[in-house]
Structure 1
């Protein structure tokens, strides 16, 4: 008969845990910043770092960008004839206040001022 090969016995769990704890303690005592390299200063005078100056962010949704173009569909033409109203397409990002500020995208004209006349003038019809 062939003698059975002995299995390697792992270290007892207590000893392994103790070694791990000692290693962690040494690392904690040493600290994270122990190997930080010091910056070499080449000039004896200290200069404050330049302040970051960002470029101005202009408002891309101005009055000219809100109202895009007049709508010329059949329903829009019916609106002109029946309700004396012109219909405009506006930017998706514009809210109601911005649309009103941009001289209304959905305009109701005065009774004396015909929508057909204005539509002809701006080239819808």
Structure 2
């Protein structure tokens, strides 16, 4: 074996070893199997993570017509009470008494009275009578007089 060729072969083998190590490092850094850091659990129970929720875009409406509002302000207030005790409330407490729809709440009653009679309401108390109807005591603010409003409505 010629000494010059032996020297060249060893030089090539050293050079190829360096390339091999560089390639190995490169491949190792690009591999998809990396050790993932474990997430620390802070709670005992597992909850499914929140995922993307898209808005619905239906091809046709699921109901044929949109539901209409069954309770407008004319249906909320059925009629004012004109009993002696209701008249006493009007005179003494600046409070008007109405029979209202059973499904309404105090806020809807307040809005309906405000819309129909153009008056400001301080508060509304309700009760359900033994006959199944709902009675609403509507207290007016001090700048409105319940007697004047009752006259305007036609109770008195």
TM-score (norm 1): 0.51
Note if 1:59 corresponds to 2:59. no
| Alignment match, 1:79 | 89
Superposition deviation, residue 101 in structure 1: 2.6
SS in structure 1 opposite 2:89?
helix
User: Relative contact order (C-alpha < 8 Å, sep 6+): which is higher?
Assistant: 1
Tell me which structure has the larger Cα radius of gyration. Answer: 2
Consecutive unaligned residues in structure 2, runs of 5 or more: 1-59, 114-123, 125-135
Residues 1:53 and 1:93: Cα distance change in structure 2 (over 3 Å) = closer
Q: Can you list the C-alpha shifts for 1:48-92, whole angstroms capped at 9, x where unaligned?
A: xx8765022211112221111111011100101110111111001
- For 1:54 and 1:124, the matched residues in 2 are separated by 43
SS in structure 1 opposite 2:96?
strand
| Alignment match, 1:8 | none
- For 2:67 and 2:76, the matched residues in 1 are separated by 18
Superposition deviation, residue 113 in structure 1: 2.7
Note if 1:121 corresponds to 2:144. no
Residues 1:62 and 1:52: Cα distance change in structure 2 (over 3 Å) = same
Consecutive unaligned residues in structure 1, runs of 5 or more: 1-49
Structure with the bigger percentage of strand: 2
- For 1:88 and 1:115, the matched residues in 2 are separated by 13
Question: RMSD across aligned C-alpha pairs, in angstroms?
Answer: 2.3
Aligned residues: 76
- For 2:146 and 2:61, the matched residues in 1 are separated by 56
Residues 1:51 and 1:84: Cα distance change in structure 2 (over 3 Å) = closer
- For 1:124 and 1:67, the matched residues in 2 are separated by 14
| Alignment match, 2:139 | 108
Superposition deviation, residue 109 in structure 1: 2.3
Superposition deviation, residue 98 in structure 1: 1.9
